[in-house]
Amino acid sequence: MVPGNFTTNHPHSAPRYFHDLQDLVLESSDVEAFLAELAAVAARSLSSPALPVACGVAVPAQESDHSGGQ
């Protein structure tokens, strides 16, 4: 798959869009690259020529529980 090669901004392209996202998930071996491309896809799908949109993904750090479940 070519990064950024997604069909978006058209109501009849939804099946292709979901297929492209499925390909992205299945072909990604690196989480950071996947999330960056997912943010780019979201931005392209929400943007218009008159209103560009920027998207990002925030992954909060999860604190580990060292209390032994107490």
Highest mean pLDDT among 8-12, 14-18, 53-57: 53-57
The DSSP code sequence of 11-40 is GGGHHHHHHHHHHHHHH---HHHHHHHHHH
Mean pLDDT of the chain: 75
Tell whether pTM > 0.75. no
> Domain map of the chain by residue range?
1-57
Task: Answer for the pair 21, 1: CB distance below 8 angstroms, yes or no.
Answer: no
Highest mean pLDDT among 3-7, 19-23, 52-56, 64-68: 52-56
